[in-house]
Amino acid sequence: MKTLFYRIGYGMVFVIFNIRVVVDLLPNVIGYLMILSALSELRKKEHSFTLGMWASLALSVISIPSFFQAHELHLNQPVLSLNFLLVLNLAETLLQWVLIYSICDGSFKLASIRGKGDLASSIRFRWRFYFGCSALYMIAYPFVLNTQEVAVVLFSSVATFIAMFMIMLVIRRAGRELSVPFERSV
């Protein structure tokens, strides 16, 4: 089980970091496929991972075009496909919420079953922090199109990045702690 949680963590590295030279060097599609493969195995242990498996499949399909072309959204210049990019960004964010929720919920349930209360509460806190930061981003994002103020979006983007990184670390911790077999007291 440790390798499955680590695979989710490494998949999240591909999703979090965007290094682009000509093409994306860490394509999101590979990250989502890594997460998909881990969740398809983890759902045998906990049913909560199933929803995340489907979300990661949808996200991998949505992220394929971004591998081949840069999706740059210039907020102060007219863009012909602005509505399409906004809808795509909204769909991607909503699917990421479902994915991260499923990963955190399944990990929380496994930690609770194993009696790892500290791990379970850490997972729950990080999920709530991530959701709050990304919700703030989604609320502020449409207003940036009409004003020059980008501070809230920048702040919420950085906070969401930090929250995603925190979730990646707690998932790796869950892999370490949940891989230890049950201890039976005699």
The C-alpha atoms of residue 68 and residue 47 are separated, in whole angstroms, by 34
> Number of folded domains in the chain?
1
pLDDT in tens, 147-167: 666 777 778 788 888 999 999
Q: What percent of the chain has pLDDT above 70?
A: 79
Q: Residue written as tokens 């909560």?
A: 48
Kindly report, residue by residue over 78-100, the tens digit of the pLDDT: 444 556 767 777 788 889 999 99
- Give the residue, 104 or 63, on which the prediction is more confident: 104
Where helices occur in the chain by DSSP H, the ranges are 2-16, 28-42, 49-62, 64-68, 82-113, 117-144, 151-178
For the cut 60, the answer to whether the pLDDT of residue 7 exceeds it is yes
- Please report the pLDDT score of residue 73 as a whole number: 47
Residue 60 is predicted with a pLDDT of 92
Is 186 among the domain residues? no
Q: Which residue has the higher pLDDT, 58 or 63?
A: 58
Q: Which residues contact 119 (CB under 8 A, 6 or more apart)?
A: 111, 170, 173, 174, 177, 178
Residue 185 lies in a domain: no
- Quote the pLDDT of residue 183: 52
CB atoms within 10 A of CB 162: 13
SS3 183: coil
Mean pLDDT, the chain, rounded, equals 82
Q: What is the C-alpha end-to-end distance of the chain, expressed in Å?
A: 26
The answer to whether residue 74 is domain-embedded is no
98 located within any domain? yes
Residues of the domain holding 96: 2-68+81-178
Residue pair 171/5 in contact (Cβ under 8 Å)? The answer is yes
